[in-house]
Amino acid sequence: MMSYRDSKEHEDVHTNFKDRMTYGDYLKLDDLLSAQQRLSTHHDEMLFIIIHQVSELWMKQMLHELWASIDSIRKGDLEEAFKMLARVSQIQVQIIHAWDVLSTLTPAEYIEFRDDLGQASGFQSYQYRMIEFALGYKTPHVLKIYENNQELHNNLKSAYHSPSIYDVAIEKLSEAGFDIHPDHLNRSYTEPYQPDSSVEEAWTKVYKNVDQYWDLYQLAEKLVDIEDRIQQWRFRHMKTVERIIGHKKGTGGSSGVGYLKKVLDHRFFPELWDVRTYL
């Protein structure tokens, strides 16, 4: 039974939305919640779809933060970038834990609807490729996957030719007076990043003189946080795939677990890891 106090607490709550925007209107929930269209009748396909859709939404936010942080770093507003990069790291925690939910899908359950996926695969996630580009991992063969969609291909091509967050961090090292090799500073943004001794020397000095280079030190640690969690995400991805399909080929034609193990060896910000050995 509702008390007088309960009724008073609710008397100001809006209930007439004939000419007003509702929560569902604002979030476009009709569109969002109708996007889970199973291709099979199997109960667990819903989980498979939702996990991947939620991860794509989080990746959209990650890109929103990464692109803005790159702009902020270039403008010299590192404090603003730190807030954005800290948010990226927390988003990564969410998508890492998503694998724990997906791993409740057993091999026997997945095989019931796997064939319905055709050649669709997470390997084709363009947002994940955009994140790799934003972090400096540029691979030209990736662009071929999206040639059938001109708008998407153009967006990826633009990101491919744009500086990564590590490129702009190295620019900041140069602006701070560190002697970065000119050829390294002027390298094409489309080239896969290769470690450079002058960059390693610069980060070493930053870590040995934290008080003098506090902002650069904080930037370095924010980047390490992100790469650490990218690798955690990759590892959980690999183990979840192995748990569900073993060593079968992926639906997109990749070698599956073999490919996922190989990418674990890739480093986005190599000097920031090597510097720890030399301190």
Q: Which residues are annotated as a binding site?
A: 48-52, 110, 114, 237, 251
Distance, in Å, from the CA atom of 279 to the CA atom of 266, rounded to the nearest integer, reads 23
The residue written with tokens 């990218």 in the block is 230
What does the CA dihedral 263, 268, 271, 273 come to, rounded to 10 degrees? -60
Distance CA 97, CA 165 (A): 25
Instruction: Report the greatest alpha carbon distance in the chain.
Output: 76
- CA gap 29, 33 in Å, rounded: 6
User: Which amino acid, residue 90?
Assistant: Q
Q: Indicate the annotated binding residues for substrate.
A: 48-52, 110, 114, 251
The answer to whether the beta carbons of residues 264 and 231 sit under 8 Å apart is yes
Q: 126 vs 149, 157, 225, CA distance in Å? A: 11, 11, 23
Helices assigned H by DSSP within 19-44: 23-27, 29-33
Name the binding residues for heme: 237
Instruction: Dihedral sign for Cα 36, 91, 257, 141, please.
Output: positive
